[in-house]
C-alpha cells in the first residue's frame, strides 16, 4: 500500500478532521443534554431522592457530582496521556481508544436502571470520560493540520458538522420515542418510549464509532519524528511528565497564553456547566403543561443545536472583523445577560426563546475559544501537550462548576439558584479577556 503524504492545509484532511465532530457530537446532544436527562428523570417516578453510598441524594445533585468526579479524574490523567502521546507521536491511537471505549459505554447505557444504579452510573462515567479524553487528541490536531488563517473557519466547520449530525440522529430518536408503535415497540404504560430511549443510546454508540472511521482514515498518524525503538526503551510515563514539564515552563513565560487560559477557565466554569445541566433545569424548573414536558425539552435542545450552526459561523465572521478577543468578550457579556433573564424563566415559551439565544452564542464561544488558543500557542511538535492544558482548564472548570451547582441544588432543592452564580462568572471572564493580546498573523 502506498503511504499517503500529509500536506499541511490540505482541504481533504481538514474536512476529515472536522467530520469527527459529526461522529462524536451525538454523545453530548443525545446523551449529555437531550434524551438521557429525560430518561434519568423518568426513572425517579416515586421520589427525586435515592440512597447512594449511604447518602440520601437528590437525583440531579447525584448526576452532577458523578460528573464532577469524571472531570476530576480527567484533570489528573489527561496531561499524563497527552505527554505520552506527544513523546511517542501516536495521538491518533489514543483518540481511537477513547472513541471506542466511549462508544461501547454508550451501548452499555442501554442497561441503565435504578436496580443496577452502580453499573449504570459506571457506564455514564466511562462514556463521559472517554468523550472528553478523545477531544484532547482531536483538538490538538488543529494547529498541526491547519494554517492560522484557516483555523477559525475549520473549527467552526467542525462544530457545524457536529450540530447537523447530532440533530439528525436526535430527530430519528425523537420519532422513535414519540411513536414507538411505528417502530414495533409496545407502548403499554409508556414502556415503549422508555425502550426507545434505551435504543437511542445504542444508536449513539454505533454512530460515534462508525462515522469516526472517515476521520481516522485521513488523519496523519505521526506528526513528529520519533524513534519508536528508543522511545520504548525508556519509561514513556516518565517521558510524558518531562514533556509536560517543558511545555509548562514555556507556558508560564508566555503571558498571552497564560492570561487566555485563566480567562478561558473562568468562563468555561459557567459555560460548560450550563450545557451539561440545561435539560435538567428545564425538566425541573419549567411549568410544563400536561404531556408537554418531553416534547418541549427535546424541541428546546433542537432549537439550541440548529441555531448554534448559524451562531458558530456568524462568530467566525465577526472575529475576522473585530478580532478574536473582542468577539469573546462580547459573547461573555451576552451570556451574562442570558443568565439574568434565565433566572426568571418559568414557562415553556420563555424557555424556547432563551434556548434560541443560548444556541446563538454557545457554538460561537466553543469554536472561537478553540481556534483562539490554537493561534496563541507557538509553532511546535508538542501540540497535544499544549492542548492538554487547554482541555485541563476546561475540565477543571467543569469540576468546579458542576460541584458548585450540585451543592446549591442539594441545599436549596432548586437548580435555578445556580444561574446567578454563573452570571457573575461570565462577567469575570469578560474582564480577564481584556488583558489577552493576540499575535500578529
pLDDT exceeds cutoff 90 at 395 = no
Asked if 82 contacts 134 with a C-beta cutoff of 8 angstroms, the reply is no
Q: What is the pLDDT of residue 227?
A: 44
Is the pTM above the cut of 0.85? no
Which of 272, 296, 415 has its CA nearest to residue 353?
296
pLDDT exceeds cutoff 60 at 237 = no
Task: Give me the mean pLDDT over the 212-229 stretch.
Answer: 71
- Cα–Cα distance, 212 to 196 (Å, whole number): 24
Mean pLDDT for the chain overall:
82
Summarised one tens digit per residue, pLDDT across range 6-51 is: 677 788 888 999 899 999 999 988 888 778 888 887 887 776 777 7
Residues constituting the chain = 441
pLDDT exceeds cutoff 50 at 229 = no
Residues 6+ apart with CB under 8 A from 2: none
Does residue 247 lie in a domain region?
A: no
pLDDT band at 71 (very low <50, low <70, confident <90, very high): confident
For residues 109 and 135, which has the higher predicted lDDT (pLDDT)?
Answer: 109
Summarised one tens digit per residue, pLDDT across range 160-200 is: 888 788 889 988 998 898 888 888 887 776 688 889 999 99
List the Cα angle 337/340/345 in 5-degree steps.
120
Measured distance between the N- and C-terminal CA atoms of the chain, rounded to whole angstroms: 38
Q: Tell me, what CATH number does 137's domain have?
A: 1.20.1250.20
Summarised one tens digit per residue, pLDDT across range 348-380 is: 999 999 989 998 898 789 888 888 888 887 776
Does residue 2 lie in a domain region?
A: no
pLDDT exceeds cutoff 60 at 320 = yes
Q: What is the pLDDT of residue 340?
A: 93
Which of 321, 324, 419 has its CA nearest to residue 364?
324
Does residue 359 lie in a domain region?
A: yes
Does residue 397 lie in a domain region?
A: yes
Q: Is 420 exposed, middle or buried (0-12, 13-18, 19+ CB in 10 A)?
A: middle
Task: Give me the mean pLDDT over the 377-387 stretch.
Answer: 69
Q: How are beta strands 55-58 and 49-52 bridged, if at all?
A: antiparallel
Asked if 144 contacts 383 with a C-beta cutoff of 8 angstroms, the reply is yes
Q: What is the pLDDT of residue 440?
A: 56
Does residue 229 lie in a domain region?
A: no
Q: What is the pLDDT of residue 402?
A: 78
Does residue 406 lie in a domain region?
A: yes
Which of 394, 156, 368 has its CA nearest to residue 264?
394
Summarised one tens digit per residue, pLDDT across range 113-170 is: 888 888 889 999 999 999 988 987 887 787 778 887 777 788 778 878 887 888 899 8
Q: Where in the sequence is the domain holding 286, given as residue range(s)?
A: 11-220+253-433
pLDDT exceeds cutoff 80 at 235 = no
How many distinct structural domains can be found in the chain? Answer: 1
List the Cα angle 300/305/310 in 5-degree steps.
125
Q: What is the pLDDT of residue 382?
A: 63
Q: What is the pLDDT of residue 182?
A: 87
Does residue 139 lie in a domain region?
A: yes
Does residue 226 lie in a domain region?
A: no
Q: What is the pLDDT of residue 101?
A: 96
Q: What is the pLDDT of residue 228?
A: 46
Asked if 367 contacts 120 with a C-beta cutoff of 8 angstroms, the reply is no
Summarised one tens digit per residue, pLDDT across range 241-273 is: 566 666 677 777 778 888 898 899 999 999 888
Amino acid at each position: 500500500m502506498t503511504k499517503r503524504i500529509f500536506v499541511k492545509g490540505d482541504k481533504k484532511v481538514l474536512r476529515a478532521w472536522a467530520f469527527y465532530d459529526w461522529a462524536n457530537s451525538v454523545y453530548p446532544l443525545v446523551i449529555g443534554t437531550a434524551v438521557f436527562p429525560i430518561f434519568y428523570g423518568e426513572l425517579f417516578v416515586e421520589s427525586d431522592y435515592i440512597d447512594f453510598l449511604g447518602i440520601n441524594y437528590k437525583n440531579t445533585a447525584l448526576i452532577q457530582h458523578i460528573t464532577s468526579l469524571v472531570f476530576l479524574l480527567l484533570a489528573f490523567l489527561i496531561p499524563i496521556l497527552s505527554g505520552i502521546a506527544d513523546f511517542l507521536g501516536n495521538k491518533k491511537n489514543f483518540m481511537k481508544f477513547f472513541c471506542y471505549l466511549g462508544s461501547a459505554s454508550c451501548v452499555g447505557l442501554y442497561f441503565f436502571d435504578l436496580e443496577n444504579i452502580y453499573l449504570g452510573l459506571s457506564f455514564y462515567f466511562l462514556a463521559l470520560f472517554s468523550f472528553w479524553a478523545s477531544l484532547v487528541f482531536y483538538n490538538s490536531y488543529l494547529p498541526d493540520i491547519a494554517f492560522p488563517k484557516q483555523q477559525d473557519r475549520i473549527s467552526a466547520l467542525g462544530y457545524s458538522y457536529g450540530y447537523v449530525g447530532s440533530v439528525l440522529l436526535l430527530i430519528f430518536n425523537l420519532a422513535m420515542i414519540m411513536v414507538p408503535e411505528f417502530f414495533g415497540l409496545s407502548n403499554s404504560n409508556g414502556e415503549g418510549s422508555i425502550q426507545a430511549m434505551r435504543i437511542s443510546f445504542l444508536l449513539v454508540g454505533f454512530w460515534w464509532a462508525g462515522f469516526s472511521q472517515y476521520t481516522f482514515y485521513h488523519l496523519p498518524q505521526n506528526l513528529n519524528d520519533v524513534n519508536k525503538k528508543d522511545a520504548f526503551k525508556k519509561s514513556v510515563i516518565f517521558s510524558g511528565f518531562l514533556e509536560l514539564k517543558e511545555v509548562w515552563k514555556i507556558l508560564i513565560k508566555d503571558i498571552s497564553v497564560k492570561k487566555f487560559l485563566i480567562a478561558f477557565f473562568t468562563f468555561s466554569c459557567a459555560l460548560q456547566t450550563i450545557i451539561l445541566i440545561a435539560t435538567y433545569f428545564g425538566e425541573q424548573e419549567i411549568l410544563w403543561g400536561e404531556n408537554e414536558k418531553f416534547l418541549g425539552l427535546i424541541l428546546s435542545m433542537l432549537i439550541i443545536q440548529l441555531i448554534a450552526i448559524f451562531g458558530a459561523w456568524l462568530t467566525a465572521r465577526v472575529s475576522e472583523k473585530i478580532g478574536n478577543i473582542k468577539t469573546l468578550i462580547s459573547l461573555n457579556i451576552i451570556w451574562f445577560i442570558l443568565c439574568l433573564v434565565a433566572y426568571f424563566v418559568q414557562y415553556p415559551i420563555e424557555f424556547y426563546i432563551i434556548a434560541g439565544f443560548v444556541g446563538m452564542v454557545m457554538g460561537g464561544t466553543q469554536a472561537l475559544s478553540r481556534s483562539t488558543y490554537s493561534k496563541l500557542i507557538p509553532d511546535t511538535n508538542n501540540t497535544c501537550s499544549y492542548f492538554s492544558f487547554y482541555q485541563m482548564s476546561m475540565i477543571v472548570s467543569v469540576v468546579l462548576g458542576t460541584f458548585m451547582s450540585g451543592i446549591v441544588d442539594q441545599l436549596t432543592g432548586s437548580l435555578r439558584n445556580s444561574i446567578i452564580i454563573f452570571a457573575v462568572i461570565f462577567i469575570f471572564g469578560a474582564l480577564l479577556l481584556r488583558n489577552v493580546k493576540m499575535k500578529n498573523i
